[in-house]
Each structure stands twice: as structure tokens, then as C-alpha cells.
Amino acid sequence: MAITSSAKKALRQSRRRRIRNLQKKDKLKNLLKQVRNLVLEKKTDEAKKLLPQLYKALDKAAKVDLIKKNTADRTKSRIVKLIAKSR
């Protein structure tokens, strides 16, 4: 357990950040699932409408190092390719 006051504060901060990061990651995963499910249901127009939200979430996650930049770019590329392929 943390002994010094600075270690206690660091523990509090890391707990808050962990909760925030998990929320962002869950939101990202849910958006990805929604887009993939819409593509499977042949609703490409609705999937396209969700793309800006997904892009924003991916870019923000990459910005704060929640995921790596290349991972965000790769995910965006694969989703767009999936939508184009389903037409």
C-alpha cells in the first residue's frame, strides 16, 4: 500500500484515469460493433452516418495514447473497406 502522500495521490489519479480510459475504450468498441452490425444487415447508409463519430472516437483515443496511432488508422481503413465491399 502507498505510504507517502505523493504515492497516495498517484494511486487516486491512476484509479480515476483507469475508469475514464475504460469508458472511452467501451464507447469505441460499441461504435465498432454498431458499424459492423449495420454492415452485416446491409444498412450501409446508416453505417456511413456513424463513421464521423467512430473517426472522432478513434482519433481522440490515439491522441491520449489509449490506442496507438497506427491502430486507429488501420481500424478506420478496415471499416471503410468493409463498407465499400458490402455495396
In this structure, is residue 41 part of a structural domain? yes
For residue 77, pLDDT beyond 90: yes
Per-residue pLDDT tens digits for 8-20: 999 999 999 999 9
In this structure, is residue 16 part of a structural domain? no
Cβ atoms < 10 Å from Cβ of 21: 14
pTM of the prediction?
Answer: 0.87
> How far apart are the C-alpha atoms of 43 and 30, rounded to whole Å?
17
In this structure, is residue 4 part of a structural domain? no
Per-residue pLDDT tens digits for 13-48: 999 999 999 999 999 999 999 999 999 999 999 999
Cβ atoms < 10 Å from Cβ of 38: 19
In this structure, is residue 72 part of a structural domain? yes
Give me the domain span that covers residue 48.
23-86
In this structure, is residue 12 part of a structural domain? no
**Is 74 within 8 Å of 46 (Cβ atoms)?**
no
What amino acid is encoded at 16 in this protein? Answer: R
2: confidence class by pLDDT, cuts 50, 70, 90: confident
For residues 55, 25, 45, 86, the Cα torsion angle rounded to the nearest 10 degrees is: 100
How high is the pLDDT of residue 87? 79
Distances (CA, A) of 76 to 15, 40, 57, 87: 30, 17, 11, 17
Domain count, the chain: 1
CATH number at residue 60: 1.20.58.110
